[in-house]
Structure 1
């Protein structure tokens, strides 16, 4: 198999030779290092690599180049090699432009010139990016192919599952020649989408998430019958708990109903998370956390739904939707929350066909040249607005309130104000939606005057509030009137012997009404809805798990 490529693009011959020399010295045994002296030359080199069927691992481009600067080059190069990691080479005076580029080309990192010594300033950065590329791209493995329709809700569900679980796949429209051929070969018609053809050639027609997970390399069943700790939910809190539990020697299994990352995993850019001054996408953060948990020995189950929790003496039993079960000494509930549906707007029939709850960032390229409508005024909505503004003709943000200041971080408000094709519509709600087969129109209501207006719209992304999915805990775990799990001092009659709390000792801070069962992150009542606090609670829950186990 041919070596994958690392490409550098710099119009300064001296700099171009120097970085190519340093790269070959450290990576030459594994990668082919190419250098180009202009953006056009770099794109031509990438096209040749693509024609040979080879892979590109990392692209490094200088910011200041004539005709086509580094940001413009990386944006064009994304279409040829979307999984290649992207680095901008810049002088100190241009760091502001580099930071701005993060939201334009989903930049992985920027490097300052000079990078000497490379052992400190170049190789550690690229080692990390190569590790990420290794985990998400295997040129020797045939790709998974998905045949579907643009406005097919089942097709969207499969796309979302694959994208959020970081499974490489290729989307093929059913009306394209290749899509029609695959459908015919499978004995299906265009009305029978979605069709999945796995890397091994297995044909799956309208698969469930469990079937899909089992055939694309995701684990769906535990390797053992009993663990020290079972973590339910693989958002930031669950991933944090799994990393700390496994790293401290606890037998750990992480169970996720849909995809790792939770709501944070769908974020196009998280810029206020400690340790990432240039920001990080939700997918990148999720990928790193997942690989970290796996490296420490945690098992990660996907498309596995927990439907019941039972107390069995000193142990805890979790029952899955497929009828199987697993036992544990302790449990960490980190199931997070889901976005609320738009009530009364008659949009349920358009879910996945123009109406999306969450960012569905993989749909961004399909929005090119269209108007996009976003409902919500919190950070998730703001991040989505900035991201979609790169593709859409205009982005319309619909707010129930008068402005963004009440619910959105100041840095995001400043970004939005600086983007010319984002329009803010205060005091505006979605009253109804309409269309044949997919969303085509929205009726908007001014909640101050009641006035209605109709707009053409094929893309609506909703980020309104959040609800915990905790009905399966009925009768066992105490919750508040909104369904959030009560813990520690918030438990009724905490510290005394009562139906709510059975022990003489007071419950630990994150402990639920069931001893040995802890809650962390957004599912917990009165939690701070931030990624950093969720990760912190996940880590804190493991500390309390140790305390609980030592007391047994």
Structure 2
């Protein structure tokens, strides 16, 4: 069986131009590549999703800039979420060169072509040849036809889907109670007591695999290649990715250790619109993937599905211990473990986690909310972004918040968007006090500030109820505040006295913890700004302070 041809996709709303581009591409590249053309950004995105489901590759995207409904720039930006490694070309008129320059910044544009490009032998083919050579030389993860058969209301199935989606792994999803899923499950010789079941490309099975088993099957790095590094970054959110990029780019042998997937809470955001340099917004997944690729480009090593359970001082080395008993050491450590959403205390709510109750997960569960009434709990930006995203599918979205309004905790631009969205309503001064259902969530009970109770029917409850740092594993040597956030820098000193156990002959650096050579960045740090931009900045700053520490331990 021959391998499928990689795709060259062109999109232009002018049918004659679209046919001309496809004709020129087919003439030169038709033998080795499949030429796909579309006449709108929406239809092109649909084509890309179908290509991704089949497990095929896209090598080059060519999009006309001036298209109604969705411009070429908007198309290329969204296409990056589906095929981040595809090379991107914008077709522009002479008057649109400013837009092309903007596109270089917004979507990492590889090239822009001025129309008309005749003769193609001089103006089109040399460009495509160079892009194809670059694409073929990239370290692309092979895409395999992997099928996942899952239970509709199984919490482990929900966790697996989240893991696969956040790590941008190619798979096809089948529910065991639907005909095709049932057929595949029977063909595999399994029943619904063994869900989820992964049918690998070679026909072998992974029955209820762990995240590590999934990561190894898909080719993600799960084991460090060395025993000693210059820098270990613990946590792959914006702060950790920022530290990995700057550490590796400045010559430090850097390894980033992440428990689930790069991106952290920000990576689960459907749209971040106040991040510098992205005036049209950027999805958390897209931002995390760009940062991951950037870190790898500079030589950082990424290790996933590893739980860090402790750090130790061994002379000049700082040792990171894993849950399986293994360890790695480094000259310095940056803690960037971020925060987790706080579990909801109301009776019954946590019993349905993954079965109608979701902590984050809005992007992966959105399609399942089609034409349904759903509830989002929380008043910060993450809740607002989720509500806006879910409103594309749901019949109604209700934001439940205990405060009198969203003003105290949500960005102004997001509040305005919510007010203008007819699908979303806000129930202020209200909280969820109970959840019920038979095997999965079916209804929740709301209580208003004046004590009135109301039970409403819903199968989907999304929770964004505050930040809880992941620091229980740090032990007593690393000073934390009463909420568990890591204390650093001058906050460690009281009346000029250095923190207990401090061994260095100098005061702590700005982001340094109570253990010399161990730094904290991002949301895990006490009194941090809890914003993506500040987390990235702290990751970069922590690397600068690591250099100072290495010069004067």
What range is the shorter-chain TM-score in?
Answer: 0.7 to 0.9
Contact 1:136 1:168 in 2 (8 A): no
Deviation at 1:92, TM superposition (A): 13
- For residue 239 of structure 1, give the secondary structure of its aligned residue in structure 2: helix
Partner Cα distance (1:235, 1:39) in 2? 31
**For residue 474 of structure 1, what is the aligned residue in structure 2?**
475
Report the counterpart of residue 344 of structure 1 in structure 2: 346
Which residue pairs with 1:102 in the alignment?
A: none
- Paired with 1:43 and 1:484, the residues of 2 have a C-alpha distance of 42
Give the equivalent residue in structure 1 for 2:426.
424
Within 1, Cα distance between the matches of 2:304 and 2:192? 29
Task: Indicate the SS of the match to 2:467.
Answer: coil
For the residues of structure 1 that align with 2:12 and 2:181, how far apart are their CA atoms?
40
Which position in structure 1 is the counterpart of 2:407? 405
Q: 2:366 aligns with which of 357, 364, 367?
A: 364
Q: 1:127 to 1:531 in 2, by over 3 A?
A: farther
Matches within 5 A, 1:35-184: 35-36=37-38, 58=61, 60=63, 69-70=69-70, 138=142, 141-184=143-186
CA distance in 2, matches of 1:355, 1:172: 20
Judging changes above 3 Å, is the alpha-carbon distance between structure 1 residues 452 and 232 closer, same or farther for their aligned structure 2 residues? same
Deviates more, 1:464-473 or 1:141-150: 141-150
Greater Cα shift, 85-94 or 365-374: 85-94
Matches within 5 A, 1:203-352: 203-352=205-354
| Mapped partners of 1:88, 1:393: distance in 2 | 36
| Aligned CA distance change for structure 1 residues 90 and 453 (closer, same or farther; 3 Å) | farther
Question: What does residue 502 of structure 2 align with?
Answer: 501
The answer (yes or no) to whether the contact 1:494–1:506 under 8 Å persists in 2 is no
> Do the aligned partners of 1:495 and 1:501 also contact (CA within 8 Å) in 2?
no
Q: Distance in 1 between matches of 2:166 and 2:148?
A: 15
Give CA-to-partner distance per residue, 1:128-169, whole Å, 9 cap, x none: 9x979x88885xx32222111121101111111111111111
Report if the CA contact (8 A) 1:198-1:216 is conserved: no
Query: Which region of structure 1 is more displaced relative to structure 2, 524-533 or 46-55?
Result: 46-55
In the alignment, the residues of structure 1 paired with residue 384 and residue 412 of structure 2 have an alpha-carbon distance, to the nearest angstrom, of 11
Q: Distance in 1 between matches of 2:344 and 2:28?
A: 54
1:164/1:12 CA distance change after superposition, 3 Å: closer
Q: Mean Cα displacement is larger for which, 143-152 or 449-458?
A: 143-152
The 2-side partners of 1:148 and 1:410 are apart by: 40
Change over 3 Å in CA distance of 1:199–1:244 after alignment to 2: farther
- Partners of 1:488 and 1:507 within 8 A in 2: yes
Alpha-carbon distance, 1:258 to partner: 1.3
**Aligned equivalent of 2:536:** 535
**Paired residues of 2:91 and 2:115 also in contact (CA < 8 A):** no
Equivalent pair of 1:369/1:391 in contact (CA under 8 Å): yes
Task: For 2:39 and 2:204, locate their aligned partners in 1 and report how far apart those are by CA, in whole Å.
Answer: 44
TM-score by length of 1: 0.84
Alpha-carbon distance change, 420 to 87 in structure 1, aligned in 2, over 3 angstroms: farther
Mapped to 2, the partners of 1:444 and 1:172 lie a distance apart of: 34
Q: Choose 326-335 or 185-194, whichever is displaced more.
A: 185-194
Q: Which segment drifts farther, 19-28 or 465-474?
A: 19-28
Do 2:49 and 2:82's aligned partners in 1 also have CA atoms closer than 8 Å?
A: no
| Aligned position for 2:484 | 483
Which secondary structure does the structure 1 equivalent of 2:435 belong to?
A: strand
Paired with 1:52 and 1:345, the residues of 2 have a C-alpha distance of 43
Q: What displacement does 1:8 show?
A: 3.8
The CA deviation at 1:176 is 3.2
Aligned partner of 1:377 among 376, 379, 384: 379
* Aligned-residue RMSD, C-alpha: 4.0
Is the alpha carbon distance of 1:19 and 1:401 closer, same or farther for their aligned partners in structure 2, counting shifts above 3 Å? farther
- Secondary structure, aligned partner of 1:467: strand
- Does the residue aligned with 1:338 lie in a helix, a strand or coil? strand
Count of matched residue positions in the alignment of Structure 1 and Structure 2: 526
Q: How far apart in 2 are the matches of 1:371 and 1:224?
A: 50
Contact 2:397 2:423 in 1 (8 A): yes
Residues 60 and 312 of structure 1, relative CA distance in 2, 3 Å threshold: same
Q: Which moved more, 1:360-369 or 1:495-504?
A: 495-504
Note the C-alpha offset of 1:238. Answer: 0.4
Query: How far apart are residue 464 of structure 1 and its match?
Result: 0.9
Runs of 5+ unmatched residues, structure 1: 95-106
| SS of equivalent to 1:528 | coil
Q: Which moved more, 1:233-242 or 1:469-478?
A: 469-478
After TM superposition, give the deviation of residue 370 of structure 1 in Å: 0.7
Give the aligned partner of residue 526 of structure 2.
525
Work out the CA distance in 2 between the residues paired with 1:155 and 1:179: 13
CA gap 1:54/1:333 in 2 versus in 1, 3 angstroms: closer
Unmatched tracts of structure 2, length 5 or more: 97-105, 118-122
Query: In the aligned structure 2, how far is the partner of 1:39 from the partner of 1:334?
Result: 38
Offset at 1:296?
A: 1.2
**1:390 — aligned with what?**
392
Distance 1:297-1:204 versus aligned 2 partners, 3 A rule: same
Contact 1:373/1:459, CA 8 A, preserved across alignment: yes
Q: CA deviation at 1:271?
A: 0.9
1:211-235, Cα deviation, whole Å (9 max, x unpaired): 2222221111111111111000000
Change (3 A) 1:247 1:48: closer
Q: Are 2:462 and 1:461 aligned?
A: yes
8 Å CA contact retained: 2:149, 2:198: yes
Are the aligned partners of 2:244 and 2:255 in contact in 1 as well (CA < 8 Å)? Answer: yes
Distance in structure 1 (CA, Å) of the matches to 2:190 and 2:234: 38
